[in-house]
Structure 1
């Protein structure tokens, strides 16, 4: 598109007028007038400048720092201290990061340095020390090289801070090292079914294996129980098959043991038991009772 002037021509005119003003004093007034006109600019020149400005790339919009949400921290397993004497308490981490810490330590497992030269401690008149055989019996047990004492792995991860248990804090804070008491003290720490340790152990099991909840547990029958169950089921199905074939009703009006007629199914099963010692061993009164 042809224009009366562009940016380059404006600079050329300005330079020519500057040279002319320096060579001819009489042209100062004319040059001043022209410079005033150039400063005012024609509408077309202003439009050209405006188009050039509009073509310049605009800077990206600034985003306020408070609007940028920080990414959740990623905990490197290799950077977390494995020695229980050097670890920070779980509650010292942000509440939203505690499960990530538990998961990282669960992958590591308890710290059990079998090859360590366990320090001896004089208790009474004898030198006592930790024995690594305890690692086999107590899978939750871990040893701190830094503090030369033992800790409880599951209690560290999942002990409820509000729970009070005698002797449990020693296995989390400071460590336990009364080697003369040995397994007696370790068994006491485990305690009964409702102990603080077993509660932490249950939470640990559910954490690493959510499908291990009690509602999802399947009762495992041994081979003998399964064999007896099949025998009872077989004779019950034979009675059902006979009644269906004959088109007879299953139940009676009165199925109490004192009744003279307890219904076709129970009467037929009683007849089989009376005529077969094998059937009599596993059905009716001799069948297992589930409470």
Structure 2
């Protein structure tokens, strides 16, 4: 399949191309692992609307997978991804490096101090995951030097950690969080959804419905009662296994037991269904 947009595989060629464009342009970056869907498309469209030029990276980053089976199963759909991108704009630069381009010596992540943001929720169940995320995002930010970089709020913990990364590494970029894009029945869009059976994919609306009810309860009920209610809701279903449900302070991501006025809170959930792990979250106030 032929595309007129530029598909670049090496950091050297990417740097040369970006240098040709000059430093005065507003440059947007959308980092992805491919298997693109309409959630990714919304990030790319926003980036195109706000910048003179956009780089979309497609790289399945091995250091953020704790499970080798998950890494091996991650779908690689480059032709379909390029088609989706080209339908948004032919003027986008697509960066598709090999693993050896990003990790020329050893495939290991850098170690970061994210001041506790990485120790809760996803970090509790996925050792070193956020070190892997930080490693690839820092590399992309250094190579591309974007004005703005775009990340979906479905991975809200990741978004906060990337904001912290740019702070501790003093990388001059604006990190833009973009709203979660959902399927018609409410399931948050994810590349993993393709691994679900059609019937379960419809039933998985249960996850978002649970979050919405928890949000309604947050106005009148206490945190511990809401958490108990969520746990009991999942015990009543045979299709879904709850890994965690937490309500946290948005800034620190610290799980809370009591509400404090003027603090923003968010509810986070991770669920297994048909051996596929799904995550979601919702703003509570």
TM-score of the alignment, normalized to the shorter chain, above 0.5: no
Larger CA Rg, structure 1 vs 2: 1
More strand by share: 2
Name whichever structure is richer in helix by fraction.
1
TM-score, scaled relative to structure 2: 0.24
TM-score, normalized by length of structure 1? Answer: 0.24
Highest RCO, 1 vs 2 (Cα 8 Å, sep ≥ 6)? 2
